[in-house]
Structure 1
Amino acid sequence: MTKPAENSLEDPRKRLLALSQERGASLASLSELLGRNPSYLQQFIRKGSPKKLEEQDRRTLARFFGVSEDELGAPKEKSYIDPTPPPSREGDWVEVPRLDIGASAGPGALPDSEAAFDAFRFSRRWLVEQGFEGAQLSAITVEGDSMEPLLNNGDEILVDRAPRPFRDGVHVVRMGDTLVVKRVASAGGGRFSLLSQNLAYPPVNVEAEDIEIVGRVIWKGGRI
């Protein structure tokens, strides 16, 4: 006679880990979605602490992933999938200001101002799924062709201005009054290399004190 499978606590942990990996949502960002410290779900999955998710946390995660609560450890008689999405609330959306400036992907441009003239509205859930929770975002326009084909003239880019440890990548950089968007790489000895995607533009090496890294470019939008 086959022994029925037990609904052990190990299964909800495995299911939560699989769901987070399928969606590309980090455990840290999901923990913050619950209002918990960033290591909360990591400890739940890896160390078994807490032994089970609290009901409100479980319900929030089930609604986020669109799954039944019993997949995350709820008793089946108390579990259901809400067939309708939760009502839209102001807190479900994040407004990202569109700044009236351009970041040059060419020889350099002087920004006229940094006043917001409009805003993009992003789903807070989408930001969490993309790993952008906690980012300090603004949108600016790319000018010039030095970053083609990665970034084209007229593309709008999201720049995360939150202070973070530097790592190589595409950044908006201020040089005096000039804003440029380049791939920035550490060159050692307190120097950086500003690299263009368009090979017609040679690399530029600068001293760290001669530039200000405004923020990291994390998303782009533009015409096809």
Structure 2
Amino acid sequence: MENISLSERHARGRLQDLARDSRTSLAELSRLIGRNAAYLQQYVRRGSPRHLDEPDLRKIAEFLGVKPRLIATRTFDDAPHNDTHTAPGEWVEVPRLPLDASAGPGAMGAEEISFDAFRFSRRWLREMGLEGADLSAIRVEGDSMDPLLRSGDEIFVDRNKRAGEGIHVVRIGDALHVKQVQASAPGRIALISANDGYAPIELGREEVEIIGRVVWKGGRV
């Protein structure tokens, strides 16, 4: 990093210190911004890239709870650029998590750090009955919920809605599944697939963690 200025070195050092203080690795922060695991390690130690892209910088700063200029390697305006005519606060971001909810054999859960987000107006969420929901977006993998949910669909999971029957994302051990949840015998629940080729699964309630109810889906036509 021979050509890197002292102020740039300090900014990189602050990023490394903040990551350590938050008990987050540089690899996890790299995945947060959709980069390969070594991206920020190279940025901090080798000075490559010379500067982080503004959207990446803002996302990292927001995650660490600091002003972007604190970790910026060049002059930076903390105020985000708003290129829409929608009033501030009228947009809601739904984080996309690097997890697959398996509609088939269980997908292993990963770190729940968002790598991207869907952006919706509050008006649309209100019209869809989703205002105030604790939403996360994850991808469906497998065919056990065909034709209702197809592999590759994105689903919104409301973590505020865990009780009752319906289509839920559930965790069994370390694996995530998306299934129709139904009450069974006392103390037990049944996990039902939409695809008739998959037999129902019956488990004790203590064996299943309900993550949240599926409230929206999107995918290719």
Give the Cα separation in 2 of the matches to 1:146 and 1:139.
19
Give 1:165 shift: 6.1
Give the alignment of 1:46-57 within 5 angstroms: none
Give 1:129 shift: 1.1
The secondary structure found in structure 1 opposite 2:118 is: strand
1:95-145: CA deviations, max 9, x gaps? 000000100000111123222000000110111111111100000000000
Q: Residue 163 of structure 2 is aligned with which of 158, 163, 166?
A: 166
Give the Cα separation in 2 of the matches to 1:202 and 1:115.
33
In the alignment, which residue of structure 1 is the partner of 2:146? 148
The secondary structure found in structure 1 opposite 2:126 is: helix
Give the aligned residue type for 1:122.
F
Q: What are the ranges of 5 or more consecutive residues in structure 2 without an aligned counterpart?
A: 1-84
Give the aligned residue type for 2:125.
L
The secondary structure found in structure 1 opposite 2:184 is: strand
The secondary structure found in structure 2 opposite 1:209 is: helix
Give the alignment of 1:3-14 within 5 angstroms: none
In the alignment, which residue of structure 2 is the partner of 1:119? 117
1:67-88: CA deviations, max 9, x gaps? xxxxxxxxxxxxxxxxxxxx51
In the alignment, which residue of structure 2 is the partner of 1:181? 178
2:127 corresponds to 1:129: yes
Give the Cα separation in 2 of the matches to 1:220 and 1:206.
26
Give the Cα separation in 2 of the matches to 1:165 and 1:98.
19
Give TM-score, length-normalised by structure 2: 0.60
In the alignment, which residue of structure 1 is the partner of 2:216? 219
1:5-31: CA deviations, max 9, x gaps? xxxxxxxxxxxxxxxxxxxxxxxxxxx
Q: What are the ranges of 5 or more consecutive residues in structure 1 without an aligned counterpart?
A: 1-86
User: In the alignment, is the contact (CA less than 8 A) between 2:137 and 2:156 conserved in 1?
Assistant: yes
Give the Cα separation in 2 of the matches to 1:116 and 1:191.
33
Q: What is the RMSD computed on CA atoms of the aligned residues?
A: 1.4
| Distance change (3 Å), C-alpha of 1:154 and 1:165 | closer
Larger Rg: 1
Give the Cα separation in 1 of the matches to 2:141 and 2:113.
18
Give the Cα separation in 2 of the matches to 1:171 and 1:165.
8
Give the Cα separation in 2 of the matches to 1:93 and 1:200.
41
Give 1:166 shift: 1.4
The secondary structure found in structure 2 opposite 1:102 is: strand
